[in-house]
Structures are given as C-alpha cells and as structure tokens.
Copies of this chain bind each other. A is one copy, B any other.
Amino acid sequence: MIDPVILFFVLGAVAGLLRSELRLPAAIYEFVTIVLLLAIGLKGGVELARQPFGALAPQLLAVVAMGLLLPLIAFPVLRYLGRLPRADAASIAAHYGSVSVGTFAVAVAYLGSRQIDFEEYMPVLLVALEVPAILVGIVLARGLSRQTQWKSVGHEVFLGKGIVLLLGGLLIGWIAGPDGLASIEPLFVDLFKGFLALFLLEMGLITAAQVGGLRRHGPFLVIFGIAMPLFSALVGTGLGLSLGLSVGGITILATLAASASYIAVPAAMRISVPEANPTLSLAAALGITFPFNVLLGIPIYHALAVWADAFLKG
C-alpha cells in the first residue's frame, strides 16, 4: 500500500514537468515547514522527558562522527571521479553529510503507517547531524584558513530556522511533557500528515524545476545522487546495529545518513563557499536523491534493517 503523501509528491513532480501553473505560495511553504519542524521537535522532546538524557551521549557522539565522516568520503569521489572543482566537490559533500528533514518526515510516516516503533529520540540525532558536515565542507573548500569568518558561519548554522525550530520544539516538548502538549496536538500531531502532503506537493514542483540543472551537468551527478545515499545507508545501518537500535531506529538512522540537505546546507554554503555553484548541489540533492529516497530508498533501507537485524540475532 503506497502512502498517499508520496502520491502528493508525484502529483507535484508531474505538474512541474508539465509546466502547470500550480504553485504553493512561498508563505504557505514556509508555514508548512515551520509546523513540521516544530512537530518533529515536540514529539522528540516528549520522549526525551521519559529517559535520562545522559544515556543519549554515546549515540550523539557516534552520530556526529558519522556526520564528519560521510562528507570526507564523498569529497574525493566528487573531486577525482567526478572531476569537479574543489569548491563544488566540498559543497556537494557537505549536502550529503548533512540531513533532510523532509526525508526524515517521510520515513517517520512510512514506519508510522506500518506500526513499526522506533527510538523516539531520533529527532535529537537529526539535529546533531545537521551541522557537522557543514563545517567539514567549509574546511574542505578553504582549508583551515584564517579568512573564514567562523563567528558568522556559526551564527548562520546554529541560528538558522531549522535548528532553532527543531531544538526549540525539543525543549518545549521536554519541559511541557505529554500532558502539557495535549492542547496543541490538533495542530502539531493530527495535521502532521496533511501538512506533510502539502509539503511534498511543493517539493515535487521544486524537484521538477531541478531537471534543467541536471541536464546541463551530466550523468555523473545522477549516478552519485543514487550511489551515495545507498552507501551512506549502509554506514547508517551498521552504526544503528552497533548502537543496538531497533529495526525502526536502524531504518531511520540509515535514512538520515542517506538523505541530503536542501535547506540548511545550501544556505550556509551560499554564504561561506560562494564560488560553489548551487545549481550542481541542488540538482543532485533535490533532483535525484530526494525523490530516490522518498520513492525507493526508504523501503530499501527498511528491508536492509530487517535483514541486518535478523542476521545479527540469528
């Protein structure tokens, strides 16, 4: 059974490819994004309240290490196999080391509609994975140059909309607890999938608009945009196994690893590594990897998690 939110993505993509005049107003796309980010944070925060925070430290460290590692693997592939200029290779590597909140939301919806549980602190890992790859990307592009204005990079990265809303939601959920949140659930829980559907409709339209970029920049990006998430998902699966996560948790962690950022990282790269061509990274992250993950990747990562879990236990 295909989840209807995926069908909204397909509708958007088809409408975009047919050059329909359909468009979600920018303010509405922003509204939907804000509600989704807060909802994800709130849900994670409520769960955090149920368990000692300290217990999360090892997971956090391991996941940050993965966020540093993945762009370091992607960079030489892009630079030498893809023959991309240094700045472009660094920027794309940063996109793939970081995460996509939209893809995370689809994975949550996927598991939810199959009633598969997962460790509910996953939003914390989502937040932890957003930033490290950005720093690696900047260093890969510039070296550890003095010229980089780390203070303003830090401001841009840690006070961007995504982090503030996710972290803010986490804290509010943590302080208010499940009872406190009951009164705002109609907006942040009941409407979650409806808003996800609208979000994916617009994502479909945006994805379709990236096709031009892809056509210009050739087949390497297409292959990279599929191979890299598959590889990263393997890394994520391995990490999930060794952290002792449930099948649901492994699926989510693999999805996080496999997803490529298209909000926080592009904005940060545009300011910090301006000579990188944003068309390249967005064509790959949005034009290939996002639809791949949403349509095929998540079921694959789930199957992988089931298999790996059974294999280990068997």
Contact = CB atoms under 8 A, between A and B. Distances in A.
Nearest to A188: B194
B187 A2 contact: no
Interface residues of A, number: 54
6 contacts: A2-B180, A20-B161, A22-B159, A27-B28, A185-B194, A190-B190
B194 A187 contact: yes
A119 interface: no
A20 B159 contact: yes
A272 to B, nearest CB: 15
Please classify the interface of chain A as helix (H, G, I), strand (E, B), loop, or mixed, using the class held by over half of its residues: helix
A242 to B, nearest CB: 33
Interface stretch (A170-178, A283-291, A296-304): A170-178
Contacts of A185: 194
A18 B155 CA distance: 9
A207 to B, nearest CB: 16
Interface stretch (A5-13, A81-89, A130-138): A5-13
B3 A161 contact: no
A1 B7 CA distance: 39
Interface of A: 1-5, 7-8, 11, 15, 18-28, 30-31, 34-35, 109, 112-113, 155, 159-161, 164-165, 168, 171-172, 175-176, 179-181, 183-188, 190-191, 193-195, 197-198
Contact of A5 (B8, B184, B186): B184
Contacts of A193: 183-184, 186-187
A11 B184 contact: no
Closest 3 CB pairs of A and B: A187-B194, A25-B27, A20-B159
